[in-house]
Amino acid sequence: MTVKVLFVSSVLSTFYFFNQIHPIRGENCDLYGTLLYEDMGCKASYDNSVYYSQTLGRCPSKFDCLGLKKSSENCFLRGKAYKLNEMVDSRVTAGLCDLGCYCQQNDDTTNFKCATVDCPEWGVKEPYPGCYRKYSLDDCCSIREMCAPYENSTTCVYDGKVYKEGENFLPKNSCWRCVCQEGFRGKLEKPFCRRRSCGVQIKNQEKLQERCAPLYYKRKYRENDPLCCPTSWICSEGNEKLTGRPRTDKMCLFGQRLVRVGQKFEKTIESPRSMNVTCECKVPPLLTCVTYVI
C-alpha cells in the first residue's frame, strides 16, 4: 500500500511540475459522474496507470454494473435482480419519493412502476413566516414545520452558512445531501449526510438497458461543478462520429457500439430543448454527456 501511494504521488508531482496547463485535479470523484454508478450499486475498479492518475486522480477508472443489458424478465436495482411483478421493499426507495415499486415488462425491456409520493408542501410556496421545514434523510417529504421560538434547537455551520436543526442542505461541489442534526461537525458523513440518490434505475431502467448515456448540465466556467444526477439521456442513433484518440483499452458501451476511453462525439439535440452536447467515454461502462448552461 505504501509503495502504491508513493508511486502515485511521485507521478502526480512530476505531472504537476511539467504540466501547468492541465494541473492535477483533486480527489473529488463527483466531478466524473461516479454518483450514478454508486447509486446503481456498481462495483468500482481502480487503475494506477499514468493516464488515470493524470486524468482522474485516484477515482475509480471503471465500474461493473448489473442491469445494462436488455431484459424482458428482470428489473435491476442496486445490484439486485427483480422478477416481473416483484415488489421492491419500500425502505429501499423511501428517500426517492417512490413507493410500492414493482417490476413490469415494457416491450423488449423492463421498468419499475411506482406510486408517486405527493408531499403536502409541494405546490405551496413558502413555509409560514418565521417557520421552516424540517427534514430527515430517510423521508421524501418534510416531517414537520418548525416555528419560532426554536427551543433547544441545535444549529450547524457549513461553508460559512448556518442551518437550523432539520434543515436540508446540499454542500456545493459534491453529491452529498445533509440534514442539520445535533453533533454535526462540518464533515460530510453519516448520520448527518448521505450520498444523494438519483433513482435512475427506478425512473430510467429502460434507458440503462439500452445503454443510453446520462446527460449532465454544467455551468459555463464552473469546472468544479460536480456531475451528480443526470438531467436526461442521450441514446445511440448509430451514426455518431467519434473523434479523439483512444487512451486505454477500457471501453464504454453506447447502444450497440464500443467506444474507447478518450473517444467522444458531439451533437446537437432538439429535445428537451436545442443544445449541443459532448459525450465521452471517461469512466466506463457508460458514456458521460455534458451540455453547458449559462
The residues pairing with 99 across neighbouring beta strands, listed in sequence order, are: 115
Among 2, 116, 152, 256, binds ligand NAG (CB under 6 A): 152
Our finding on whether 271 is near ligand NAG (CB under 6 A) is: no
Q: CB under 6 A: which stretch of 52-60, 109-117, 164-172, 274-282 binds ligand NAG? A: 274-282
Our finding on whether 276 is near ligand NAG (CB under 6 A) is: yes
How wide is the angle at C-alpha 68 spanned by C-alphas 73 and 65, nearest 5°?
115
Among 151, 223, 237, 270, binds ligand NAG (CB under 6 A): 151
Our finding on whether 274 is near ligand NAG (CB under 6 A) is: yes
Neighbouring residues of 64: CB distance < 8 A, sequence distance ≥ 6:
42, 43, 45, 285
Our finding on whether 155 is near ligand NAG (CB under 6 A) is: no
Binding string to ligand NAG for residues 107 to 146, with x set by CB under 6 A, is what? ----------------------------------------
236/101 Cα distance (integer angstroms): 28
Given the complex with ligand NAG, which of 231 and 276 has the nearer CB atom? 276
210/140 Cα distance (integer angstroms): 29
Given the complex with ligand NAG, which of 148 and 235 has the nearer CB atom? 148
Grid-cell match 458523513, residue found:
189
CA distance between the termini of the chain: 43
Q: CB under 6 A: which stretch of 172-180, 181-189, 216-224, 273-281 binds ligand NAG? A: 273-281
Number of residues that bind ligand NAG (CB under 6 A): 6
Got the DSSP string for 110-145? EEEEEEEP--TTTT--SPSTTEEEE--TT-SS--EE
Q: Which amino acid is at 88?
A: V
State the DSSP H helix or E strand holding residue 69, giving kind and residue range, or none if neither.
none
208/70 Cα distance (integer angstroms): 9
Among 21, 268, 270, 293, binds ligand NAG (CB under 6 A): 268
Q: What are the residues binding ligand NAG (CB under 6 A)?
A: 151-152, 268, 274-276
